[in-house]
Chains A and B, each alone.
Chain A
Amino acid sequence: MCDTCGCGQPGDPVTIRKPGQINPTHDHDHSHPHSHDHSHESEPSHSHGRTLLVEQDILSKNNLLAERNRGYFEAKKILALNLVSSPGSGKTTLLEKTIATLKQEIPISVIEGDQQSLRDADRIEKTGVPVVQINTGTGCHLDADMINRAVHELAPEDQTLLFIENVGNLVCPALFELGEAHKIVIISVTEGDDKPQKYPTMFSVADICIINKTDLLPYVDFDLEVCKQNASQVNPHLQFFDLSAKTGEGLDQWIEWIRKQVD
């Protein structure tokens, strides 16, 4: 059974490809978090029930792989930022604008995560930076193993910036560490200022909260201060950036924050 969505297919539904690659090949040589050993050489010597202490974190494999990724990023001085949000909050547009502003001073690469299609990778490719697309099939989040495989494909240089655009989902990606330096949660003003109260887990694990599409504030019932207050109640350490990726308003502070992290 596949490890991401639990579908009955024996193969791996996750594909990792670069823009232009139409028929992805299924690669079964990757280090997969589940064992492919199906031997049943159990001996019948233990016939009565006995209890074994396990005391293991359920996500320990993912966490271990995430730490491996983190070590790799730190050794190569790669700043990895994990962008999480609902679908349609403007992650890809924010990336396009951020890349256009920063790519002359910092080499950038991108891992795109979506269930299907190369659409986002195609958009990022037009900005001129290396990108790979992870398609999770029916999976609802990226995990550390997918990032490990995508990074092998990307082979980012030392002292670079790596953006990971997670699958649009404000719930599941909160639980899966990727090895990133920071989780950045993005909400757009069209989503409502009560998002942090409705989906607190994501806001509790993020370091940065970007409130996007501020150019639409005059047209929607969204109170910036109320939203920040709601988010700060979930996570008092959150740092906020209000911006419009479309118009560029407020983008400077976000860019400046990235520059400081890279230094």
Chain B
Amino acid sequence: MHEMSIALNIIDIVSSQAKAEQAQKINRIELEIGELAGILIDSLEFCFEAASKNTLADSASLNIVKIPGKGICHDCHTEIDVDNYIVVCPNCGGFGVEITQGKELKIRSINID
């Protein structure tokens, strides 16, 4: 259940940004979550709802942009789509694929009042 820690970190960051802007409430939070980041989106949304109570992010909606996984094969230098950590290069059959995208865990923007 590290999603609770993630939810609390999100609330922490957006609250301090909103306070610095003297906002009264946060309407929307846009997140980038990589498909290989190890986060269950449903679980994160559930935790966020519980954790945001009585904060500036109470009633804020989460707009989650999923970032698909990508990797590069070190053997044949092909860029490939990656949907899990066990990657066989479809071009050369090698296992030396380095993941280049899909581990993102980022707050892109917030909408405040």
- Determine, out of A54-62, A208-216, A241-249, the stretch whose residues face the partner at the interface: A54-62
In contact, A55 and B107 (Cβ under 8 angstroms): yes
Check: B38 CB closer than 8 A to any chain A CB: yes
Query: With A4-B5, A42-B19, A201-B38 known to touch, is A61 a contact of B12 (CB < 8 Å)?
Result: yes
Contacts of B27 in A (CB 8 A): 49
Query: With A1-B8, A3-B8 known to touch, is A200 a contact of B109 (CB < 8 Å)?
Result: no
Check: B17 CB closer than 8 A to any chain A CB: yes
Check: B111 CB closer than 8 A to any chain A CB: yes
Expressed in whole angstroms, the Cα–Cα distance for A181 and B17 within the complex equals: 32
Contacts of A34 in B (CB 8 A): 8, 12
Query: What is the size, in residues, of chain A's interface with B at 8 Å between Cβ atoms?
Result: 51
How far is the CB of B102 from the nearest CB of chain A, in Å? 11
Check: A47 CB closer than 8 A to any chain B CB: yes
Contacts of A175 in B (CB 8 A): 2, 6, 38, 105
Query: With A35-B16, A46-B22, A141-B2 known to touch, is A6 a contact of B110 (CB < 8 Å)?
Result: no
How far is the CB of B85 from the nearest CB of chain A, in Å? 3
Check: A72 CB closer than 8 A to any chain B CB: no
Query: With A3-B8, A52-B110, A55-B106 known to touch, is A200 a contact of B51 (CB < 8 Å)?
Result: no
In contact, B21 and A52 (Cβ under 8 angstroms): yes
How far is the CB of A12 from the nearest CB of chain B, in Å? 13
Give chain B's interface residues, CB within 8 Å of chain A: 1-2, 4-10, 12-17, 19, 21-24, 27-28, 31, 36, 38, 47, 50-51, 84-88, 95-96, 99, 105-113
CB-based nearest B residue for A45: B22
Query: With A49-B113, A233-B87 known to touch, is A58 a contact of B107 (CB < 8 Å)?
Result: yes
Q: Which of A6, A45, A141, A230 contacts B47 (CB 8 A)?
A: A6
22 A-B contacts (beta carbon < 8 Å) = A1-B8, A5-B1, A6-B51, A35-B16, A46-B112, A47-B113, A51-B112, A52-B17, A52-B112, A54-B17, A59-B9, A62-B9, A172-B1, A175-B6, A176-B2, A176-B5, A200-B86, A204-B99, A233-B86, A234-B85, A235-B85, A236-B96
